[in-house]
A and B are shown apart, each in its own frame.
Chain A
Amino acid sequence: MNSELLNEFTFFVLAVFVGIEVISKVPTMLHTPLMSGTNAIHGIILVGALVIAAGADSPVTIILGLLAVVLATTNVVGGFVVTDRMLEMFKGRQTTRTQEPVNPK
């Protein structure tokens, strides 16, 4: 195992623990936005799609590259926009509340 692979493996193992630790305190009500948000984050595959698309020089790699870039961009953009739409509503509700000072309780 060369040192670069060893480094990568180290990052991988540490990221597993960070991922579990960060998520373990999320309340149930935010699970759907959270799933959507993590869904957007794995859209980082766009970085990989850009790398293979940039080097495209044959019909096969051109098709593969184009498809990968389209799909990955859809994942990133759609993922973040739809997550924001969900979370926007949590925020909107709080502002409407401040406009109605009378508490029904």
Chain B
Amino acid sequence: MTVFYALAYLLAAVLFILGLKQLSSPKTARNGNFTAAAGMVIALGVTVPQLHVTAAGAIIILIGVVIGAAVGTIGARQVKMTQIPQMVALFNGAGGAAAALVAVAELVRFGPHPPLTEALPSVFSIVIGSVSFAGSLVAFAKLQELMTGTPITYPGQQLVNGLLAAAIFGFVIAVLAIASIPFSFLALMLLALILGVAFVLPIGGADMPVVISLLNAFTGLAVAASGFTLNNFALIVAGTLVGASGSLLTKLMSDAMGRSLGNVLFGAFGKVQAAPGAAAGKEGRTVRTGSVEDLATLLAYSRRVIIVPGYGLAVAQAQHAVRELADLLEKRGVEVNYAIHPVAGRMPGHMNVLLAEANVPYEQLKEMDEINDEFKDADVVLVVGANDVVNPAARNTPGSPIYGMPILNADQAKNIVFMKRSMRPGFAGIDNDLLYDPKTIMLFGDAKDSLTKLVNAVKAA
């Protein structure tokens, strides 16, 4: 029978790998999610008959599964598409906390002198799981705007975080060597929770996706560690898969921003921009603003229009309005495409999800490499709520914090229309020369309002 169980866990692991593979193509992505879910059902299904259930155990399992399934289903169904990143953060935090609690329960069960091969992964799981849980909650609070999204810094912050890490290391040794101190691992858990909060506080709201991805990888590793404690093959393989792929995904995300992961996590980004003095001395320049009617005429009589959607579009929930404008233009024979920067929206791929929700045809969504050569042939580039991803400073100004980040060649188009709420810089905190370009026309206001006005004006044009 144990052979059967082992083979079932192997099947589950294979399904997880196939699921991840299928998730890598738009055509099979949805099946990939089902494949992984099937793996989960199998892994859980063969776990249940192996349990030695006490009466109390049966009750808490029933209650726990019912509550968890209800919370998970309702949360996942009710959440708005723009709030996906913080929802993923919450689910990730739940997983991290569960991993830490499983490890605590194992240490309680082992009593005062657990063997090192059990204690070491348990302690690892407690620390990493707790950091992931607390960090995820802070990431959620920042994205949900329950707290300020700007980096929270104070003098000696690195020192405090370093001391926290050192204290945790000390407690790890203490728990492993002199585990007879009752509940010393609870103190360890508390310290790890504090470290999780302290770790995420100095990171800005716009960088939260990278942090969530990293914490997602952390939870995977914590789960893998629990697998070592429980000698469970499925936990080790699934947890490690997530840990490895999540780490790579985190790196890909920060690469797309043109920054190293270290810079995202420890850079306190706001300070970097002060050094090159990029924002100084630009007050004298003027920008050109246009009326809605002028812009509508410009758009309606163009041949090629490229829309560059950004973070501001997501915030204003303007994805439906932008699609309406695009449809209207296409009816008039204008060729409309969307240029999707890798970090558009709140996380890589987020913009595709938002535009998909608004039924924007798949072929119109062009990735950066695909469309960058087409900007020079475009009559109008409509930049909706984006800023840093079209900032030529990334190409031309070596001292700029975003120097080296790949950008969209919006500056090569014949006309550039910027829809922005104000002249405020993007999250990189630097001025955008493109705003002052003679080819650029500004349309200030909420993206959704402006787009709705444009739609009406185009209808009249």
Contact = CB atoms under 8 A, between A and B. Distances in A.
Interface of A: 2, 4-5, 8, 11-12, 15-20, 22-57, 60-62, 64-94, 96-97, 104-105
Interface in B37-91: 37, 39-40, 43-44, 47-48, 51-54, 56-58, 60-61, 63-65, 67-69, 71-73, 75-77, 79, 81, 84-85, 87-88, 90-91
A44 B239 contact: yes
Nearest to A51: B230
A47 B43 CA distance: 7
Contact of B95 (A8, A34, A72, A87): A72
Task: Tell me what chain B mostly uses at the interface: helix, strand, loop, or mixed.
Answer: helix
B50 to A, nearest CB: 8
Contacts, number: 385
B54 A56 contact: yes
B235 interface: yes
A101 to B, nearest CB: 13
Contact of B60 (A37, A41, A65, A81): A65
Contacts of A23: 20, 24, 244-245, 248-249
A47 B73 CA distance: 19
Interface of B: 16-17, 19-21, 23-26, 29-30, 32-34, 36-37, 39-40, 43-44, 47-48, 51-54, 56-58, 60-61, 63-65, 67-69, 71-73, 75-77, 79, 81, 84-85, 87-88, 90-92, 94-95, 97-99, 101-102, 104-106, 108-109, 117, 212-213, 216, 219-220, 222-224, 226-228, 230-249, 252-253, 256, 330-331, 335, 340, 342, 347-350, 352-353, 356-357, 359-362, 365, 367
Given A43-B95, A52-B106, A61-B109, A68 B101 contact: yes
30 contacts: A12-B236, A15-B237, A18-B17, A22-B241, A26-B23, A29-B352, A30-B25, A30-B349, A31-B252, A31-B347, A32-B348, A34-B349, A48-B226, A49-B64, A50-B51, A50-B61, A51-B47, A53-B64, A54-B58, A60-B108, A61-B105, A65-B57, A67-B98, A69-B65, A77-B76, A79-B95, A81-B73, A83-B33, A89-B353, A93-B356
Given A55-B109, A104-B331, 12 more contacts: A23-B245, A42-B223, A47-B230, A53-B64, A57-B56, A60-B108, A65-B61, A73-B64, A74-B71, A80-B33, A90-B352, A92-B359
B40 A41 contact: yes
Contact of B91 (A33, A51, A64, A79): A79
A85 to B, nearest CB: 7
Contact of B235 (A39, A45, A91, A97): A45
A50 B23 CA distance: 28
A69 to B, nearest CB: 3
Nearest to B238: A44
A97 B381 CA distance: 25
Contact of A35 (B47, B67, B347): B347
Contacts of B23: 26, 30, 33-34, 37
A90 B26 contact: yes
Nearest to B28: A87
B47 A68 contact: no
Contacts of B237: 11, 15
B242 A42 contact: yes
